[in-house]
Structure 1
Amino acid sequence: MDSAKGNTVHVRPLFINLKPGQIRYLRNKKDIFGIRLWLAARRAENGAWVIVATTDDPENALTRSKKRWNIETLFGFLKSKGVNFEDTHATFPERLHNLLSILTIAFCFAYKMSQIVVKEAPIKKKKHGRLEKSVLRVGLDLLRELFFKIDRSVNNFVNDIASIFNQNTVIERVFTGR
């Protein structure tokens, strides 16, 4: 943020008294790089800061920012962090719609599953303080494991059905009592 003298002023001190779990909106617009903007801040329970500068209503800015962050997280997942959506080269609108719908459902399901798992078994932190895995990665790993288990179960079922119709196996079962 620019001061009246053209010096850089940090924004966080404006919200220094904000306690974890609190939200504050500044009553007056501030001049930031020559633009008059509203400022809103939230301090998470873990002490992390979210500070938003906006030309619109500051009371909605944090909510909009959270929605945008969720959308950005989804697109990051779709583009590079697991799915590589662009590598499909899908161009037909209906197919794109269907693929995007399925992937979004998978993303939401994985994220919800991971939230449950992380509550029961928190993710370990590395020496530098970052998590070993992201919460989303935990959910995606769970989803992948679930699909592999379903796939194995379906394959076993199909093999059992196929073996019933294999005459040698049927005769073998009759004579061996299996």
Structure 2
Amino acid sequence: MPAGQRPGGRSARVRAAVLTAARGLLADGYAELTVERIAQAAGVNKTSVYRRWTDLEGVLGDLLSEYASEVVPIPDTGDLGTDLEELALLVRRGMTGEPGELITALATSAPRNPRAAQVVRGFLAERFRLAEAVVDHAIARGELPQGTDARAAIEVLGAPLFLRLLVVDEPIDEEFARRTAAATTAALRAGVFEPR
């Protein structure tokens, strides 16, 4: 740690206050969210927010990175179908809470904001990478052949859930998540993701 820099300190307090304020204001919807409103709710000067995060997407990206740093319990029950179902339900829970709201907010601004697009891509890439372990475990157990494309299978599992979250704005209920997992399991067992 550089000399004179304290663990915590004012910088940590400002960060905590800004992220707490952003979280609270995001509950009212992304459309009305601004750096100025966040700064006011956090009790800090807006220049402090701009200096640290540059823009609104920077604040939301930092908030999303807090979720990315959380440990994700990757299912490993010994059965591919059960693992994929548990994974789909885990993703569903995340999408119906604050991470889903953040992803939606950032994805909405991504076409005109490269930073927002970068944050969303980074978050999803890490989540997909972690989730690939479900398929990798099935390969190691001999349930699936070597060379099965874990990334493609996880993308197929997640795509319908993200379609509902980001495009058609329909509920992601548990039954939908289970059906998505069952379809992905059937495709994996049918060899759809095996090397050609």
What is the TM-score when the length of structure 2 is the normalising length? 0.38
Larger-Rg structure = 1
Give the structure, 1 or 2, with the largest relative contact order (CA under 8 Å, sep 6 or more).
2
What is the TM-score when the length of structure 1 is the normalising length? 0.41
The structure with more helix, counted as a fraction of residues: 2
The structure with more strand, counted as a fraction of residues: 1
